[in-house]
Amino acid sequence: MAFEIPKIRYTGTIKEVTLGTGEKAVKVGGEGCYPFYTFEGDMPNPPRVAFEVWDCQPDDWQEWAVEPFRDVLHDPVLWAKKCIDVYGAELIALQLKSADPNGMNRDVEDVIEVVKKISDAVDCPLIVWGTSNDDKDAVLLRRVAEVCEGKNIAVGPVSEKNYKQIGAMSIGYGQVVMASTPIDVNLAKQLNILLGNLGVNDEKIIMDPTSGSLGYGLEYTYSVMERDRMAALTQEDTKLQYPIICNVAQEVWKTKETRLTEQEEPRLGNEVKRSILMESITAMSLLLAGADIVIMRHPEAVRLIKEIIGELMAK
């Protein structure tokens, strides 16, 4: 008798969400099995990598993070175009860093001008990440949704404190929302329920469970995302059956391990390779936990992750 691999019977399916429009639109979700368990079920859409772009020139990046984009960091439009034309970006994640009340605190309308220019300049789907300040984002992201009407972008992070304002714009302008909660299964489910009760369609919700970097809470993030997927696929919890996005870049590149040079700490080895591996390992771990989109910074780290995704998706 031939040996048969024991298989889990999945009763749930992750909802499919589309970002963008036209030929360059990207679909995420749709899984009927655990991540990359294609021998047990269907995974119609491979996980995606979004290239990080800031709306202003960063002044605290490591030299090895600056190098691939040195010629375009002064202009977010050129930066986004280079990600697409040179590095093959399928998604652009625009980080609205200049709007942060604890930073530059730029006026909403000034930030919106940058968003509009980038949305008009790129032909791939756009993800717009706000300041994580509930009050500022309630105003900022509503304007973002308005000026990008008809482009089916994703906006967030949406919290329990501003979901009504931003959720309403999702309904009005047809944008996708990224529901963000602090690494907790029950809070994630609760926010999804609130958005649904507000009238946001299931096909317009992506979950942001909040993620940590390798060595900085990754294990806890992994376990929570794993529980999200288990509840969604094997326990038929429809309020957790949404694609997941993880903002990897901002977590990894602020760690001390990506900032110390080999001269400062010889035991850590070459700082460039170390940083790239930190980002790659973090992203891959989160993909194995159930992430459908990871936002990343360094082109070499992106290349490694895309290569691994391709190998795991090959049948």
Give all domains of the chain, ordered by start, each with its CATH number: 16-313 (3.20.20.20)
How many angstroms from the chain centroid is the CA of residue 217? 17
Helix and strand numbers, DSSP H then E, in the chain: 10, 10
Q: What pLDDT shows up at residue 315? A: 63
Identify the H or E element spanning 50.
strand 48-54
Cis amide linkage into residue 299, ω under 30° from 0: no
Contact 99, 140 (CB under 8 A): yes
Return the CA Rg of the chain: 19
Tell me whether residue 303 is exposed, middle or buried, using C-beta atoms within 10 angstroms of its C-beta: 0 to 12, 13 to 18, 19 or more. Answer: middle
Q: What pLDDT shows up at residue 170? A: 86
Tens place of pLDDT per residue across the chain (315 aa): 688 878 888 999 999 999 999 999 999 999 999 999 999 999 999 999 999 999 999 999 999 999 999 999 999 999 999 999 999 999 999 999 999 999 899 999 999 999 999 999 999 999 999 999 999 999 999 999 999 999 999 999 999 999 999 999 889 999 999 999 999 999 999 999 999 999 999 999 999 999 999 989 899 999 999 999 999 999 989 999 999 999 999 999 999 999 999 999 999 999 999 999 999 999 999 999 999 999 999 999 999 999 999 999 986
Q: What pLDDT shows up at residue 3? A: 82
- Which residue shows structure tokens 């300040």? 133
